[in-house]
Structure 1
Amino acid sequence: MMSGWLRRLPIFWQTLLLVLACLLVAQAMSIAMFVSVRPPRPQVYPMGDIAEALGAPRHGRDDDDTPRLATQLTRSAPTADTEGMVTDSSMVSRLAERLGVPVSCVRLFYEADQSATYPFRFKKVDSGVPIRHGEPMFFNTVLAGVQKDGVWRVVRTPDKPWISPWQQRTVLWFVLSALMVLPLAFLFARQLASPIRRFAAAADRVGHDPRAPAVPVGGPAEVRLAAQALTAMQLRLSETLAERTAMIAAIAHDLRTPLARIAFRIETAPDALRKPVQSDVEQMRAMIAATIGFVRGVHVGEKKGLDLLALVQRIASHCHEMGSKVSVAGSPAWVEGDSVALERLFQNIIDNALAYAGSAEITVIADEGRACVKVADRGPGLPEPMLDDAFRPFNRGDPSRSRQTGGIGLGLAIARSIAAEHGGTVTAANRDGGGLVVTTEFPAAPHLAPAS
């Protein structure tokens, strides 16, 4: 784990330190490999090695990494069977002299070195074989043979492996360096991502509820600055909302006095004028009461385990007593919540269905950790672009403010606010065959159900 001071460093310095640490680890691995592993010997075959392989077993060089020459005995003289192999009389004479046999008893074929210039300290000759300190050096395929007692002893350089030893060591070096650096990169990524995830979760909570707890200040300097800025913005939003809420509540409250005077003065007016004005006054009073209730916020009391099926059945029974058509089906679904607030939530949704369709069909479902309540009706429904707007304050499907078709457009907005306070969601969708389905989902709490 990173120490406290390191976690508080800016992301720039944390990244720079990680790069430097990885570089140091990689260099340490390189030095360790350089010291502990012997460097690969070039795959070069001096003529002396070839002569030893033809004349006697190799000796004195068992510790080198050069592949051994393949040896075989045959009755026939070797011939060049690889395209590009050549022979040179001077090289054959040198080999025969080394073996102490006539030139006619020696065969030597090789692939001439194609380099434009030979390595340092190597002399270029017409035979195409570099010579160092008078010793011909063969870097490519060699095929040689000597005849003794009627039998040809033939040697050939082995085929080059797909991955040579020095390449294997290089790959091992890279793998070990990556394995050494990986834990550092993992710790860095985890320590850097953790405060960012916490910041994102806190910012999401603030986006849903300005009264949510402030964003925790921690992690790199950039994240701390962002958290402080978001906390300041949250305070400003809360103050602005509080001021506007207080202003709207004050205006709505002050309107009650002139409405009371209007209602008092209209009492002596003729019936033809008094009754319509009284109806308007009552409607304005209802609108003012609803507005005051909304701007004061949704109060959620103590939460405890409750069954949504039993809750909506109780609401449905009240609706039946008022002559409304409400049906309930489904299975028990336990959640943790305030029964008064949730009853208000579902009452608003059911009232909305009754206002526009005259009936409501309720289904309660508990599945996969979610408790779901669907309230469906056979009303006119809503155009698709307006489905989410239905939950905005003072927005109604019916643009009028007629009391015969509902209130002032706060019922669904209040329902969504109560659902958010319980960690749930409220959505609307058009129903197949006409009508609307309002779906409310909460985190299920089956562990709160009483033992049977």
Structure 2
Amino acid sequence: MWLRLPDSIHGRFALLLIASLLFCNLAAAWLLAQEGSAFDQAIRVQHDMGRLVALIDTIEETDRETGEAIVTRSMTGYTRFSIESEPLTRNAGDELGDIADEIRRALPNHVIRVTRPVARQSADLRSPALLIISVQLAKGVRDGEWLNSLVYPLGLSAVWRQKSTFFIPLIASLSVALAIGLFFLHQMTQPLKKLAGASLAAGRGDHSVRLTETGPREIRDAAASFNTMQSQIAAFEEDRRRMLASVGHDLRTPITSLRLRVEGVDEDALRLPMIRILEDMTVMTDDILRYTTGSGPEEERRETDLREVLADLCAGAGVHLAAHEPVLAPVQVVAIRRAVGNLIDNALRYAGSARVSLDRIRGAAVITVSDRGPGIPENRLADVLQPFVRGEESRSRETGGIGLGLAITRKIVAAHGGTMVLRNRAGGGLEVELQLPSGPVQPGLAG
């Protein structure tokens, strides 16, 4: 498409408003600029009125020869005078009553006729006459004769000097209307921009965001619907969290009791398999409890050097860290250690080794954990981010827990206003990229 429209609603409405106002004002300017308009006629009558009155008075008071000489000297490039026995308006168009009345007020007791020409009245000028004015002389040696005047449009420089005063308020009105229109357009589209930002935050898992219910009725209804949806989702998430927490806590007691009983079994062939099963169940309950507590609502967010956090974490796990400069970000330190620790544990479990890197890219702190393990099938990359979904179906402790590690990490990152992306590496292995905002702490996102 040869014309690329703005991508936003605000831009498109602004373009429509500007185009409409410009079209209307250009149309008005074009009509005002047209030669032969009523405006041009009024300019010419005002321009020549004094000279016409003086010329009539002079002709009526002098002899024929002097009158002829005065008429000749009075002609200009835009006005032609002649004294004839008949008015030129006889074969012209309709009479212009308003202009004729104006001249009658200046020349009482005279017969006045003012018409538009139907054809060119003089061959020595290129443009057609604007007006034909015929005034019957009322006394003197030429009593009863007619002074005919062919009035031609002024040149562009002269007429635009007269019209310029009309374009100043035209341009001023355009500017004021455009400013007011853009202001109200901004007021109308700003709530939509806030709604888009709040929806993005909700998609990342932040269900505490609420919109102010102001503006037009449709915007208020949309904001109210969004707030209701957020409240319902938050209530559902809280109910699920409490349910899982209850399940995790309730399972700990019977598991502990069973463990004590199993320890009393004398035969190793029976006791050891049962202990492994109970240990798997303990891992499951611990994962459930970690998922339900999320990033820890009691933990305060503070400006932290992520390089120091990752260095301590990688040193404890025995993995390599690539971080060339300090990267500050407002985070919940314990939660971030848990999120990255889950990724390192997965890499070590499935690949036997891991590599962690830290960079600052476009104002965001980017943490990458990569390995050379088996990876995850492309069609399951999105699924494994959901709770209780694993890359493979086993539930044994040797190959992992119950599929909450990545879900916990994703939840923590989303609570920080960040994103989490999984991708398979060329040559085998998995790469997990976490992007966290590295700006100052935002009150609306505080833990």
Common topology (TM > 0.5): yes
| Structure 2 residue aligned with 1:41 | 41
CA displacement at 1:327 relative to structure 2: 4.4
Give the 3-state SS of the residue equivalent to 1:255 in structure 2. helix
| Structure 2 residue aligned with 1:68 | 78
| Structure 1 residue aligned with 2:401 | 407
The one of 172, 181, 192 aligned to 2:188: 192
| Structure 1 residue aligned with 2:434 | 440
| Structure 1 residue aligned with 2:329 | 335
Would the aligned equivalents of 1:202 and 1:216 in 2 still touch at CA under 8 Å? no
The one of 256, 269, 274 aligned to 1:272: 269
Larger deviation, residues 170-179 vs 303-312: 170-179
Deviation per CA, 1:414-441, whole angstroms, max 9, x where unpaired?
A: 2222222333222122222222221122
Amino acid across the alignment from 1:181: A
| Structure 2 residue aligned with 1:157 | 126
Calculate the aligned-residue CA RMSD, in Å. Answer: 4.5
**1:268/1:40 CA distance change after superposition, 3 Å:** same
**1:196/1:367 CA distance change after superposition, 3 Å:** closer
The one of 310, 313, 321 aligned to 1:312: 310
**1:442/1:169 CA distance change after superposition, 3 Å:** same
Give the 3-state SS of the residue equivalent to 1:396 in structure 2. coil
CA displacement at 1:317 relative to structure 2: 1.3
- Tell me whether 1:286 sits opposite 2:283 in the alignment: yes
| 1:351-362 mapped onto 2 (5 Å cutoff) | 351-362=345-356
**1:247/1:339 CA distance change after superposition, 3 Å:** closer
Q: Tell me, which stretches of 5 or more residues in structure 2 are unaligned?
A: 1-16, 45-51, 53-67, 86-90, 97-111, 129-152, 442-447
- Paired with 1:379 and 1:170, the residues of 2 have a C-alpha distance of 80
Deviation per CA, 1:282-305, whole angstroms, max 9, x where unpaired?
A: 101210121122123321522333
Would the aligned equivalents of 1:313 and 1:328 in 2 still touch at CA under 8 Å? no
| 1:42-57 mapped onto 2 (5 Å cutoff) | 56-57=72-73
Q: TM-score, normalised by structure 2?
A: 0.62
Q: Tell me, which stretches of 5 or more residues in structure 1 are unaligned?
A: 1-17, 71-94, 100-112, 123-132, 145-154, 448-452
Instruction: Name whichever structure is richer in helix by fraction.
Output: 2
- Paired with 1:426 and 1:193, the residues of 2 have a C-alpha distance of 30
Amino acid across the alignment from 2:126: T
The one of 177, 198, 201 aligned to 1:205: 201
| Structure 1 residue aligned with 2:424 | 430
- Paired with 1:206 and 1:440, the residues of 2 have a C-alpha distance of 18
| Structure 1 residue aligned with 2:11 | none
CA displacement at 1:314 relative to structure 2: 1.2
The one of 357, 360, 370 aligned to 1:366: 360
Amino acid across the alignment from 1:302: E
Percentage of identical aligned residues: 31
Deviation per CA, 1:361-399, whole angstroms, max 9, x where unpaired?
A: 122212442222221211122233332333222222122
**1:434/1:246 CA distance change after superposition, 3 Å:** same
Q: TM-score, normalised by structure 1?
A: 0.62
**1:136/1:354 CA distance change after superposition, 3 Å:** closer
Would the aligned equivalents of 2:389 and 2:403 in 1 still touch at CA under 8 Å? yes
Amino acid across the alignment from 1:363: S
Would the aligned equivalents of 2:304 and 2:330 in 1 still touch at CA under 8 Å? yes
- Paired with 2:342 and 2:333, the residues of 1 have a C-alpha distance of 14
Deviation per CA, 1:42-71, whole angstroms, max 9, x where unpaired?
A: 999xxxx9xx99x82444xx8xxxx7279x
The one of 168, 193, 214 aligned to 2:210: 214
Deviation per CA, 1:73-127, whole angstroms, max 9, x where unpaired?
A: xxxxxxxxxxxxxxxxxxxxxx9x959xxxxxxxxxxxxx9xxxx95469xxxxx
Would the aligned equivalents of 2:93 and 2:117 in 1 still touch at CA under 8 Å? no
- Paired with 2:41 and 2:439, the residues of 1 have a C-alpha distance of 72
